[in-house]
Structure 1
Amino acid sequence: MRYVYVLEHSYEYEYEGEMFDEIKMIGVFSTKEKAEEVIEKYMTLPGFEDHPKECFHIGKYEIDKISGWEEGFIKWTDAY
Structure 2
Amino acid sequence: MEVFLLQHIHHGGEPGEAVHRDYEVLDGAVAYDDDLDDAKIVGVYSTELAVFAAMDRARQREGFRDEPDCFMVDTYLLDEDQWTTGYVTLSPDDD
- Larger RCO (CA within 8 A; separation ≥ 6): 2
Which residue of the partner structure matches residue 5 of structure 1?
Answer: 4
Counterpart of 1:56 in structure 2: which amino acid? Answer: F
Cα 1:50/1:31, change in 2 over 3 Å: same
Q: Which structure 2 residues correspond to residues 14-29 of structure 1 after superposition, within 5 A?
A: 14=13, 20-29=36-45
User: How many residues were matched structurally?
Assistant: 75
Q: Greater strand percent: which structure?
A: 1
**Helix, strand or coil for the counterpart of 2:72?**
strand
Match of 1:56 in 2: 71
With structure 1 as the length reference, what TM-score do the two structures score? 0.74
Deviation at 1:75, TM superposition (A): 4.7
Secondary structure of 1:26's counterpart equals strand
Q: Which runs of no fewer than 5 residues in structure 2 stay unpaired? A: 15-34
Measured on the aligned residues, the alpha-carbon RMSD in Å equals 2.3
Give the TM-score of the pair, scaled to structure 2. Answer: 0.64
Q: Which amino acid aligns with 1:39?
A: M
Q: Secondary structure at the match of 2:11?
A: strand
| Aligned counterparts of 1:79 and 1:12: Cα–Cα separation in 2 | 27
Look up the SS of the partner of 2:12 in the other structure. Answer: strand
Q: Which runs of 5+ in 1 are unaligned?
A: none
